[in-house]
Structure 1
Amino acid sequence: MMEWWNNLYQYLADYFQYVSGYQEQIWKAIGETFVMVGISIAAALLLGLPAGTLLYLTRRGQLLENPLLFAIVNSLVNVIRSFPFLLLVVAMIPLTRLIVGTAIGTLAAAVPMSVIAFAYYSRLVEQSLLEVPRDVIEAASSMGASTLQIIVKFVYVEARSGLVLGLTTSMISFISYSTVMGIVGGGGVGDFAIRYGYQRFEYEIMVFTIIIMIILVQSIQFAGNVCSRLLDKK
């Protein structure tokens, strides 16, 4: 048994010594992933949250019922979400070049990711707000609250747990999307695994990057669950 443990220890020591040779590239890849995902999260909050709220407000029977506006925003969200992500990245190259001046690089990769973030999170926001009991809105209206006050002080408060879980789910999806951004030179952990692991047949590197992704996703999910539980007053 002792010999088995010694062999395992020696194997792990050799493995981490081998991986440490790529330390600089690994940290660079993690940083690129954080940049792409961070910009996507910002887009989800700044664009997806208002869009999802607008979808909720303009639905039939809601405070700002507007079938035409709802149909326009709903169709836009559906069209973006219907695009296979890789095709969306390629189709947006002209727009990406217009916005950031280039179609290659981490910032360029963040543009299509921000677009999908807007569409993805807006739908989750709409679903979370629809779960708020109608009684809450009626009570707020009876107290003379404006539409903005109803949304900010009542609906968002009631739906905050779901909004946090939706953002957590979105963040994990953004990490998944970031793994294919090597096609436009976006870099990231996924691109590192392909270039240094798969293409060079160094499967130890691929395994290590998979472990990194698992740890990252599990950490985000755990943090999201804790925040959601703390915010849930039901």
Structure 2
Amino acid sequence: MDNFIDLLLPPFLETIYMVFASTLASLLIGFPLGILLVITEKNGIWQKPKLNYILGTIVNVSRSFPFIILMILVFPISKLIVGTTIGTTASIVPLSIAACPFVARVIESSLKEVDKGIVESVSAMGASVPEIVFKVLIPEAMPSLVLGTTLTIINLISYSAMAGAIGGGGLGDLAIRYGFYRFQTDVMIASVILIILLVQTVQLTGNKVAKIVNKK
């Protein structure tokens, strides 16, 4: 039993590390991008149709790549940043790149749910664009933003499992190496159970935080 735990624990921690780091990186890039997609659209609070079109096109093209193909394509970038294309840290680069356009669309969708009447009222009172964004749009959309971030984390857990197929480490790598190549079904089942538990924990936590924020 101890050997089994010793086998599962390192990949489990690797998965958490990959997901945490890539979530942080994708939010740092995707969140501002999502805001720009909202405020620069036609009839937005900072209308820039051409910029909005360019950003929207970049996001749509980025989202079109299957993750496995994207991971292979960004091997040179991973090598440039972390010095290698294989391993847990190297996987953070393609994970972050894959999640950025997803985050941007999630943020955009959440912010668009805010009542336009509130935005127009605040704008009529002379509020600046940053004030509208940080004092109206984000606070009003907070429950939806929390749920969107939760969805992002769950997607990254799934991506991290796929990264294991080409040497990315984590539970996906463990399941393939032991469950598939060595026919150790118990290891594969245990890996899948851990991934399911991780997803459930993230989802329940996200739902609870969204409710708390919504009450406030």
Q: TM-score, normalised by structure 2?
A: 0.96
Structure 1 Cα separation of the partners of residues 197 and 107 of structure 2: 26
In the TM superposition, residue 233 of structure 1 has moved relative to its aligned partner by 4.2
Structure 1 Cα separation of the partners of residues 13 and 197 of structure 2: 15
Q: Per-residue displacement from partner, 1:49-95 (whole Å, max 9, x unpaired)? A: 10000000111110111111111111111111100110000111111
2:70 to 88, 108, 111: 88
Structure 1 Cα separation of the partners of residues 87 and 187 of structure 2: 23
In the TM superposition, residue 120 of structure 1 has moved relative to its aligned partner by 0.7
Pairing 1:80-119 to 2, within 5 Å after superposition = 80-119=62-101
SS in 1 for 2:178: helix
Letter in 1 for 2:54: I
Structure 1 Cα separation of the partners of residues 184 and 16 of structure 2: 24
Letter in 2 for 1:194: I
2:163 to 159, 172, 181: 181
Structure 2 Cα separation of the partners of residues 121 and 170 of structure 1: 7
In the TM superposition, residue 144 of structure 1 has moved relative to its aligned partner by 2.2
Q: Per-residue displacement from partner, 1:76-134 (whole Å, max 9, x unpaired)? A: 11111100110000111111111222111111111010011111111000001111111
2:60 — aligned with what? 78
2:16 — aligned with what? 34
Runs of at least 4 residues off by over 4 Å: none
In the TM superposition, residue 175 of structure 1 has moved relative to its aligned partner by 0.2
Identity of aligned residues (%): 42
Letter in 2 for 1:71: Y
> Is 1:140 the equivalent of 2:114?
no
Does the 8 A contact of 2:165 with 2:172 survive in 1?
no
Does the 8 A contact of 2:164 with 2:171 survive in 1?
no
1:194 — aligned with what? 176
> Is 1:169 the equivalent of 2:151?
yes
Letter in 2 for 1:213: I
Unaligned 5+ runs, structure 2 = none
Does the 8 A contact of 1:105 with 1:184 survive in 2?
no
1:220 — aligned with what? 202
Q: Per-residue displacement from partner, 1:187-208 (whole Å, max 9, x unpaired)? A: 0011111111221111111111
Q: Per-residue displacement from partner, 1:135-170 (whole Å, max 9, x unpaired)? A: 111121133221101100111011000000000011
Aligned residues: 216
In the TM superposition, residue 177 of structure 1 has moved relative to its aligned partner by 0.3
Structure 1 Cα separation of the partners of residues 134 and 52 of structure 2: 20
> Is 1:47 the equivalent of 2:24?
no
Structure 1 Cα separation of the partners of residues 215 and 120 of structure 2: 20
Structure 2 Cα separation of the partners of residues 58 and 85 of structure 1: 29
Structure 2 Cα separation of the partners of residues 35 and 228 of structure 1: 24
Structure 1 Cα separation of the partners of residues 186 and 165 of structure 2: 23
2:45 — aligned with what? 63
